[in-house]
Amino acid sequence: MHDHDHHDHDHHHDNRYSDMQARVKALEMVLTEKGLIDPAAIDAIVETYETKIGPRNGAHVVAKAWTDPDFADWLKRDATAAIASLGYAGRQGEHMRAVFNTPETHNLVVCTLCSCYPWAVLGLPPVWYKAPAYRSRAVIDPRGILAEFGLQLADTKKIRVWDSTAELRYLVIPEQPADSDGLTEEALAALVSRDAMIGTAIVELSR
């Protein structure tokens, strides 16, 4: 069972990035041919921003929500303002909504028509987030797609799918792991992965 919260999309909003990406690719090709850059190094930099540097902003938001009830309440009421208070704001003026996982409900974020993504808190979108297979199956078979990510949820847990748009993007606030109450905000943030803030993973204490 799942709900699908769908909003109208603005199809052209990401077009300006396609021109930029084309120029970057052309420049990368020229520099590679001249022997000035190593494509593997570029890939390593992109991977770092995708999985390490970028998502640290979001992890900070999550950890603060876990440790500061007032901030968590603010996130629920006005995520855009709460997140901006930490210095993270969308470059296109998009609004943010924080959706909180609970013992009863798991949240999953997708963008069905393009690849809207909360850049300010998660950095670069992963390749799979933009893939048509994820964008369609997250809506049609969210439990199945989560299983492919290695996340097996109880049949009794409801999955709610949120469809991002140019104007509104979502950040999943995962459940705080059990027995982590004594950890500092910094230590808690270190546990939070990018995938947990999209909804394709949960947060667990390192073993």
How many residues does this entry show for the chain?
207
Residue 192, CB-side half-sphere exposure with 13 Å CA sphere: 32
Catalytic residue among 114, 164, 193, 206: 114
Question: Pick the catalytic residue: 18, 85, 111, 193?
Answer: 111
Catalytic annotation present for 18: no
DSSP 8-state symbol, 175: P
55, 122 contact by CB (below 8 A): yes
7, 34, 40, 41 from 174: Cα distances, Å? 23, 46, 33, 32
Which candidate in 115, 136, 180, 193 is catalytic?
115
Binding-site members for Fe(3+) are: 111, 114-116
CA angle 149, 108, 87 (to 5 degrees): 110
- H/E stretch holding 83 reads helix 79-84
Write out the two tokens for 70: 């007032």
Question: Is 180 annotated in the active site?
Answer: no
Q: Is 193 one of the annotated active-site residues of the chain?
A: no
Question: Out of 18, 85, 116, 164, which one is annotated catalytic?
Answer: 116
Residue ranges at the known binding site: 111, 114-116
Is 111 a residue of the active site?
yes
Residues annotated as catalytic (active site), given as ranges: 111, 114-116
